[in-house]
Amino acid sequence: MKKTILIAEDEELQLSYIKRDILTYRSNKYTIVGEARNGIELLNLWKKLKPDILIVDLNMPQITGGEAIYEIRKKDKKTKIIVLTSLEDESLINAFLKYSDAYLLKTHETPKNFLKKLDEVAFTDKKEVRDYLLPKIRKSKEEKINLSLRQLEITYGIKHGLKNNEIAKKLFITKRAVEKAVQNLLVKFNVKDRHELAAKFDEKKVYGKIIDDKGDE
């Protein structure tokens, strides 16, 4: 029997990536039974649907995903909970490892690794502590990614689902210039395609020093 999943994510693009990866590569193992855009919806759907697994973003409106997790864990110790968030604060990670079965970072997890951790949580009783997370975060802070203003603009466009020709029109540059910039960005972020780039790029994070260099595309 397939495991049932409830996803709580208020960012539509991120939600679409999660659904795409599960439905494309794990449709034989999981069924997505619901989607919540805020913490209140998460609580209501959890009570109604009783899913096997919750995938929860901590930073959501009305009540946060974190507050919802606290409420759920008061009554439910059985449902597996995966935190999938961009919040890299060490105190948060330490706090939520007590309430969740995995704490995954949107800016660090590839689709392949996310699916691997989903399988581990769903089909084993092992508590997934992710001891490597904190050293990984510290290392990423030391190794900042430097972006030119043009690269930042193009990455924002990719993050918001724009195609290369749409980005070119918006920035008054050629489609070829955008294509070249995208290839350079894939190398900078160490990802395979624009979907992984969009998932890894965090709009709230400062990427080193942003240089206003239109030539560095």
Same-domain pairing of 35 and 12: yes
Indicate whether 214 belongs to any domain. no
3-state class (DSSP) for residue 133: helix
Please compute, for residue 34, the number of CA atoms within 13 A of its CA located in the half-sphere on the CB side: 20
pLDDT of residue 141: 53
Please write the tens of the pLDDT for every residue from 71-85.
Answer: 999 999 999 999 998
Same-domain pairing of 118 and 164: no
Same-domain pairing of 125 and 178: no
Please compute, for residue 39, the number of CA atoms within 13 A of its CA located in the half-sphere on the CB side: 15
Regarding predicted confidence, which is higher, 47 or 92? 47
Provide CB contacts within 8 A for 175, sequence distance 6+: 164, 165, 168
Please write the tens of the pLDDT for every residue from 202-211.
Answer: 765 666 555 5
pLDDT of residue 139: 54
Same-domain pairing of 174 and 98: no
The pTM for the full model equals 0.64
pLDDT of residue 73: 94
Quick one: which of 42, 101, 33 has its CA closest to 67? 42
pLDDT of residue 124: 85
Same-domain pairing of 106 and 155: no
Domain range for 179 is 149-200
Same-domain pairing of 60 and 13: yes
Average pLDDT, the chain: 85
